[in-house]
Structure 1
Amino acid sequence: MTLWKLDPSEKQDLLDRFLRYVAVDTQSDDNATCFPSTEKQKDLARILVEELRALGCADAAMDEWGYVTARVPANLPAGHARVPVVGFIAHLDTYHATPGAGVKPRIIRDYPGGDIVLGAGEVLRAGANPTLAQCVGHTLVTTDGTTLLGADDKAGIAEILTLLAWLRRNQEFRHGELRIGFTPDEEVGRGTEHFDVAGFGAQYAYTLDGSVLGEVEDETFCADTAILTITGHDVHPGYAKGVMVNALRVAGKVMELLPPDALPETTEDRQPYLHPFALTGDVTRAELKLLVRAFTEEELTAREDVLRRVARDAEGCFPGAAVDLEIRESYRNMIYKIAEDPKVLDYALEAVTRQGITPIRRAIRGGTDGARLSYMGLPTPNIFAGGQSFHSVQEWVSLEWMAAAVEVCVQLLGVWVEKAD
């Protein structure tokens, strides 16, 4: 069994790519109605089109929505059994609620262990980040404590481009046809809104949007967004007794009544949650948005029933208030679709094992583009990309784990060819 390893120059190339990409501000906007939600995501998309073309993907292009796609032909000998077309996908945007412009990455070579002082009063503490202990001796890339890093998911983008560069240099390595896709607006739950699965042309795909070394994820939350619209009544506060109904106070009551053991900060593993994440408005009208998350549709419905009861109870505490609840579907647990054709998962787990890494099959306490793509007819589990502490100013990534993701993808292409024989 061959272990594929990037050489030092290839790892440096991977690092250089990543640093180029995180320098481009690609934050999405959760409040926008256009697509993509921010035009600046296309700035990185244009760069990637040129880099893909330089790597031999002559048809690389960005469409009107900001999706970047490219094709890599198979190089199999004549008469070889047909290998399914496989896609690799990562997302362009970064999280909208943490500063993402002016990223100033710090590089720590041969990490000695222990806490890392980032700056701006931020310290990456080893005790609170146990995966740091697995990365002693690695090259780490961290933030300066003022912005996120963007490893979610620019690590995945850099890994896919590095994979293509490796294939171009190692043309004796046999692989089937590949499709490459970079999507906008994943962080705001809209990454597949205009994704053309038929046009993409893959039968199976993988997102490189995971975290810890060896992770392969085939399960996500079932996800909805709940929107509470609260109507009150405003009058001059000097004459408000018995007349004013303050919509903001009603919203506060809703949050007060949420079960304390059903919040993201009090749940873990397979526990569902309700997460109030945005409040806007004034005395007359307020809007409260919540994420509803659970691994089964039954649990999701149960959480939403709790929210309905909370809304009724809060409304009852403020005579004259009106609380209306709207539920918008976001995505569903992709395990149901992947289980219909499990080889896409099995081959990924085998590739991790062949690279000498212990595979970790894990459910994501979140979502990926792969969840919706799986329901759109493209089974798409998620492979680790190496980043940690996503969405925070303490985000960091191990270069060695990024390199391992590339190496696992090489193994994975080999598994698809071998299984087609």
Structure 2
Amino acid sequence: MDFSVINDIKDMSVAERFMRYVQIDTQSDPNSATFPSTAKQLNLSKMLVEELTALGAKDVELDENGYVYATIPSNTDKNVPAICFCSHVDTSPDCSGKDVKPIVHRNYQGQDIVLPDDKSVVIRYAEHKDLAEQIGNDIITASGTTLLGADDKAGVAEIMEAAKILLQNPHIKHGDIKILFTPDEEIGRGVDFVNLERVGAKFAYTMDGEKAGTIEDETFSADAATLTIHGVSVHPGFAKGKMQSAIKIAAKIIEALPKDRLTPESTSDKEGFIHPTNISGSVEKATINFIVRDHVTANLARHEAELESIAQKILAQYPGCSYTFETKEQYRNMKEVLDQYPEIMEIGLEAIRRAGMTPERRSIRGGTDGSRLSFMGLPCPNIFAGGHAFHGKMEWVSIQDMEKAVKTILHIAALWEERA
């Protein structure tokens, strides 16, 4: 097939889909014990099931854990590996996703964008460098009181639009295309209960990246660490020489952490860090929760050893106290898996080229559903969805970049068939 056939597709409805989806509040909740963490995520998932069924997708299902599965059947005689496209329906707990009002700013010309419902929220051209590439494009923002939800409803809308195009254009040859929409990605639980046998794919791509043209095959490796300090509690009126406050000891440990390295504030690129995320407790007992990150998995143990050493040095000043230190694996750098299957990235990069962009291979200072999926047996890099300034009121996405993402999905599907 002449790949220009895909690039010539006009009149996409991806923007209309996206603006419908963002108006559904799907914020996840890290403090919830349920799965999904919020029932309102299912409102979007149910809509996606209805739309996929109406489009003619097969095996459409919303399971008991809130996962949406669907298949676009192969239309070729070739033996093509089944490929999955995946996005998450939830939005970040960091900023409200209720009553989102999407606004389209047509023919952007480099101006600062003042959001109407809170004019103190301004998307400034000088501060958002990628706006320089959007001159003449149509930009979607929220109204100033909520996030937009491009993370990751842009990805959801792009996969849905690509599904529609594939189902309506049988001349675009492809193998089985699997679709997976997950809940709770923003709180790190997105694939806790996914049924990979039900997905039925050999390889996958998450549509959850940022700038148009980017593809990511490397994430942090991540651990959680919990330091629990057991102090000595005495009535404060009679505490002289006796009390050893676990809260104050915890504060000293945090103060003793490195300040010009190994912190989120002081690192970039592939530098790792130790980051205290929560502290709670009393005189008798205090707990500090940390996240530990590095692109090199072996470095996690070094960072954790340094953290425990700092705690030991502080606690040595308090002979009546004790501590426990526990670490838990969260996810691992997906590059360790993806390097074993170079064709996944080769096809992703070529698809971006065919969609008219210069591909940019990036590393993520974070993780995605693809990190865990890769280690669960479904190798899965991350492709741009076009959103910017995630998790806040200044979030934005351009319609043209979402259309490029749709075409990238179509090219990936066609390339796997072409090379089979």
TM-score by structure 1 length?
Answer: 0.93
Residue of structure 1 equivalent to 2:322: 322
Q: Distance in 1 between matches of 2:316 and 2:391?
A: 37
Alignment partner, residue 185 of structure 1: 184
1:194 and 2:173 aligned: no
Give the 5 Å matches for 1:46-57.
Answer: 46-57=46-57
SS in 1 for 2:21: helix
Structure 1 residue 251 and structure 2 residue 253: aligned?
A: no
Cα distance in 2 for partners of 1:24, 1:225 equals 32
Separation in structure 2 between the aligned mates of residue 120 and residue 295 of structure 1, nearest angstrom: 39
Aligned pair in 2 of structure 1 residues 280, 147: CA closer, same or farther (>3 Å)?
A: farther
Evaluate the alpha carbon distance shift between residue 285 and residue 273 of structure 1 in structure 2; reply closer, same or farther with a 3 A threshold: same
1:94 aligns with 2:91: yes
Aligned to 1:137: 136
- Given that 2:69 and 2:198 are in contact with CA atoms closer than 8 Å, whether structure 1 keeps it comes out as no
Equivalent position of 1:409 in the other structure: 409
The separation in 1 between residues aligned to 2:249 and 2:225, in whole angstroms, is 16
> For 1:9, what is the secondary structure of its paired residue?
coil
2:212 maps to: 213
1:321-360 matched pairs, under 5 angstroms: 321-360=321-360
* Contact 2:58/2:73, CA 8 A, preserved across alignment: no
In the alignment, the residues of structure 2 paired with residue 328 and residue 372 of structure 1 have an alpha-carbon distance, to the nearest angstrom, of 14
Equivalent AA in structure 2 for residue 2 of structure 1: F
- Mapped partners of 1:52, 1:161: distance in 2: 8
Give the 5 Å matches for 1:66-215.
Answer: 66-76=66-76, 80-118=77-115, 119=118, 121-215=120-214
Moved more, 240-249 or 335-344: 240-249
Q: Which runs of 5+ in 1 are unaligned?
A: none
Task: Give CA-to-partner distance per residue, 1:194-241, whole Å, 9 cap, x none.
Answer: 111122100111000001111111111111111222333445545544
Is the 1:88–1:206 Cα contact (8 Å) retained in structure 2?
yes
Please, what TM-score do these two structures have when normalized by structure 2?
0.93
Unaligned 5+ residue runs, structure 2? none
Change (3 A) 1:299 1:111: same
Give the equivalent residue in structure 1 for 2:381.
381
Q: Report the Cα distance in structure 2 between the residues aligned to 1:383 and 1:341, rounded to whole angstroms.
A: 16
- The one-letter amino acid paired with 2:191 is T
Q: Which structure 2 residues correspond to residues 236-315 of structure 1 after superposition, within 5 A?
A: 236-260=235-259, 261-315=261-315
- Preserved CA contact (<8 Å) 1:36 1:65: yes
**Shift in alpha-carbon separation, 1:115–1:310, aligned structure 2, 3 A:** farther
Q: 1:120 to 1:262 in 2, by over 3 A?
A: farther
1:365–1:374 distance in 2 versus 1, CA, 3 Å: same
Moved more, 277-286 or 88-97: 277-286
Structure 2 residue aligned with 1:2: 3
Question: How has the CA–CA distance of structure 1 residues 281 and 42 changed in structure 2, closer, same or farther, with 3 Å as cutoff?
Answer: farther
Q: Residue 230 and residue 136 in structure 1: after superposition, are their counterparts in 2 closer, same or farther (change >3 A)?
A: farther
Deviation of 1:6 after TM superposition, in Å, equals: 7.0
The answer to whether the 8 A contact 1:141-1:397 is kept is yes
| SS, match of residue 59 in structure 2 | coil
Structure 1 position 103, deviation (Å):
2.2
Is contact 1:276-1:288 (8 Å) kept? yes
Inter-CA distance 138–245: structure 2 relative to 1 (3 Å threshold): farther
